[in-house]
C-alpha cells in the first residue's frame, strides 16, 4: 500500500497556548515565553473524492461547504480560519488539496485569549498536510496559519501563537526569539505554585482594531528611532534608555507604546533567568509589572482584567498575575500556591460576580505537546 492510500482519514489534536510573559512582543521582534496547553481542538479529516470541502463544528452544530476551486473570505469569522489556511496552502503548493470532510470538536474556550484561532489554523493545516501528503515543514505550517489570520481574518498577529501551537513540548516553555525564530526549551517548573487562568468571559469588540493599531503605532515609533539609529531592526531590541531619548520626538502615546515594548522585552529576559534559578517571587513580581505596563502604557487591558489582577494583590498565596494574550478581555494568568488554589478560586469568583454580575471561569492548565497526529 502506498503512503497516500493509507491516509484516507486522519485525526489531529491541536492545543491552545498560554504566554507566561512577553506580551505584544512577537511582532516587535523580541523574546516571548509561551507554551502549548492540555486543552485542545480535535479534527477528523476524511477524503471525499470531490472538489468540495465540508466542515462541521460539533460545538456550534454548524456546517459549511466550499469549492476548492474558488476559495475566498467569508462573512462568518470562523470559516475564515479554515478558508485562509486552504488558500495559503494553494498558494504554496498548488493542486495539493482535493475534496475532504472535516469534523471539529473543541474543549478550548473560544475567544478567551488562549488562542483557539491558532489551534484551529494549525490543526487544519497539519491535518491537510497529513491527509494529502503535501510535505509542508513545521515552519510552513506556522507561517501559512499566521498568513491566514492576516489575510482572511484581518488580525495582523505576530508568530507566537502558531509557533507555540506547533512546537510546544509537554512540561516546557518555549523561549522564542521572534526575530530569528530560534527557540530554547525551558523546564516549566514553578515549584509549589500552579498556573491558573481566570476567564473573564468578556471579549470587547475593540480587540482586532486596537490590536492592529498597536502594531502600527509600534512600527511608526520604530521609524522615528531608525532615523537616528538605522541599525535598530525591531522595537523590542531598542533599550529603554534609548527609547527615553525620543520622548521629545514622539507623541505621548507612541512613546508609551515604545517604552512598554522595550521594558517588556527586558522583563521577559529577567523572568526567564528568575525561573531557571527557581526564584519564583521575582518571576511573579515581573508578571505584575507586565500587567501594569499593558494597562497603563500599552492600554490593552480592561476593567474586568484590572479588577482580577488587583484583587490578587491582597492574597499572599498568589505571587504574580497579569492579563494574557491580545487583551480587551480573555483571561488573566495567575501563579497560585498549590495548597491555596481551591480557596482562591472560590473567593475571586464571588468577588467578580459581586463586582460585574458575571461568571468567572477558572481554567487549571497543564503544559502539553504541540499539534499532533492521532491515528
Ligand atoms: C495575540 C496575537 C499574538 C500576540 C499576542 C500578544 O494572541 O495572535 O501574535 O501578539 O496577541 O502577545
pLDDT in tens, 117-166: 999 999 999 999 999 999 999 999 999 999 999 999 999 999 999 999 99
**Confidence class for position 111, pLDDT limits 50, 70, 90:** confident
43's grid cell: 479534527
Which residue out of 149, 157, 206, 260 has the highest number of ligand 1 atoms within 8 Å of its CB and is therefore the one to mutate?
A: 157
Q: Please state whether beta strands 34-47 and 9-19 pair in parallel, antiparallel, or not at all (unpaired).
A: antiparallel
Percent of all residues in the chain with a pLDDT value above 90, rounded to a whole number = 95
Q: Which superfamily, per CATH, for 193-364?
A: GHMP kinase, C-terminal domain (3.30.70.890)
Check pLDDT > 90 for residue 203.
no
What is the helix (H) or strand (E) element at residue 186, kind and residue range? Answer: strand 183-187
Instruction: Please give the CATH number for the structural domain made up of 4-188+369-373.
Output: 3.30.230.10
What is the per-residue pLDDT across 51-74, written as a single tens digit (0 to 9) for each?
999 999 999 999 999 999 999 999
Which among 28, 163, 209, 326 is the best mutation to test ligand 1's pocket, defined by most ligand atoms within 8 Å of the CB?
Answer: 326
Backbone angles phi, psi at 210, to 5 degrees: -70, -35
**Secondary element (H or E) of residue 373:** strand 372-373
**Structure confidence at residue 6 (pLDDT):** 66
What is the rounded distance in angstroms from the CA atom of residue 311 to the CA atom of residue 202?
18
Q: Read out DSSP for 230-299?
A: TT---GGGS-HHHHHHTTTTS-HHHHHHHHHHHHHHHHHHHHHHHHHTT-HHHHHHHHHHHHHHHHHTS-
User: 286: how many CB neighbours lie within 10 A of its CB?
Assistant: 24
- Percent pLDDT > 70 in the chain is 98
- Centroid of ligand 1 to alpha carbon of 110 (angstroms): 15
In this structure, the residues whose C-beta lies within 6 A of any atom of ligand 1 are 19, 23-24, 26-27, 115, 157-158, 160-161, 325-326
Whole-number Å distance between alpha carbons of 11 and 101: 12
From-to residues of CATH 3.30.70.890 in the chain:
193-364
Nearest to 271 by CA among 261, 281, 262: 281
- Please enumerate in sequence order all residues whose Cβ is within 8 A of that of 143, keeping only pairs 6 or more positions apart, or say none: 159, 162
Total length of the chain: 375
List every span in the chain annotated with CATH 3.30.230.10.
4-188+369-373
Cβ(344)–Cβ(196) below 8 Å: yes
Amino acid at each position: 500500500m502506498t503512503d497516500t492510500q493509507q491516509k484516507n482519514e486522519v485525526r489531529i489534536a491541536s492545543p491552545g497556548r498560554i504566554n507566561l510573559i512577553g506580551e505584544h512582543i512577537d511582532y516587535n521582534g523580541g523574546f516571548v515565553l509561551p507554551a502549548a496547553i492540555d486543552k485542545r481542538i480535535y479534527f477528523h479529516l476524511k477524503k471525499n473524492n470531490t472538489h468540495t470541502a465540508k466542515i462541521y463544528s460539533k460545538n456550534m452544530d454548524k456546517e459549511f461547504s466550499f469549492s476548492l476551486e474558488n476559495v475566498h473570505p467569508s462573512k462568518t469569522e470562523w470559516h475564515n480560519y479554515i478558508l485562509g489556511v486552504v488558500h495559503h496552502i494553494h498558494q504554496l503548493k498548488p493542486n495539493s488539496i482535493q475534496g475532504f470532510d472535516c469534523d471539529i470538536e473543541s474543549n478550548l474556550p473560544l475567544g478567551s485569549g488562549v488562542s483557539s484561532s491558532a489551534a484551529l489554523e494549525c490543526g487544519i493545516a497539519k491535518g491537510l498536510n497529513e491527509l494529502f501528503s503535501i510535505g509542508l515543514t513545521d515552519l510552513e505550517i506556522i507561517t501559512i496559519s499566521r498568513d491566514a489570520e492576516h489575510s482572511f481574518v484581518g488580525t495582523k498577529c505576530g508568530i507566537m501563537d502558531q509557533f507555540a501551537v506547533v512546537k510546544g513540548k509537554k512540561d516546557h516553555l518555549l523561549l522564542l526569539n521572534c526575530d530569528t525564530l530560534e527557540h530554547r526549551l525551558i523546564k516549566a517548573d514553578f515549584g509549589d505554585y500552579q498556573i491558573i487562568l481566570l476567564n473573564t468571559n468578556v471579549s470587547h469588540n475593540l480587540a482586532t482594531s486596537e490590536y492592529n493599531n498597536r502594531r502600527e503605532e509600534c512600527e511608526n515609533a520604530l521609524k522615528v528611532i531608525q532615523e537616528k539609529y538605522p541599525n535598530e531592526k525591531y522595537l523590542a531590541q531598542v533599550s529603554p534608555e534609548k527609547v527615553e531619548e525620543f520622548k521629545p520626538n514622539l507623541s505621548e502615546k507612541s512613546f508609551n507604546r515604545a517604552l512598554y515594548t522595550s521594558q517588556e522585552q527586558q522583563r521577559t529576559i529577567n523572568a526567564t533567568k528568575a525561573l531557571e534559578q527557581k526564584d519564583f517571587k521575582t518571576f511573579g513580581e515581573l508578571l505584575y509589572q507586565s500587567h501594569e505596563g499593558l494597562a497603563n502604557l500599552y492600554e490593552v487591558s480592561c476593567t474586568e482584567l484590572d479588577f482580577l489582577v488587583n484583587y490578587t494583590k491582597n492574597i499572599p498565596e498568589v505571587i504574580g498575575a497579569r492579563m494574557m494574550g491580545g487583551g480587551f478581555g480573555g483571561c488573566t494568568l495567575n501563579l497560585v500556591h498549590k495548597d491555596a488554589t481551591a480557596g482562591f478560586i472560590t473567593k475571586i469568583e464571588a468577588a467578580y460576580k459581586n463586582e460585574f454580575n458575571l461568571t468567572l471561569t477558572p481554567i487549571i492548565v497543564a503544559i502539553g505537546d504541540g499539534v499532533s497526529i492521532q491515528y
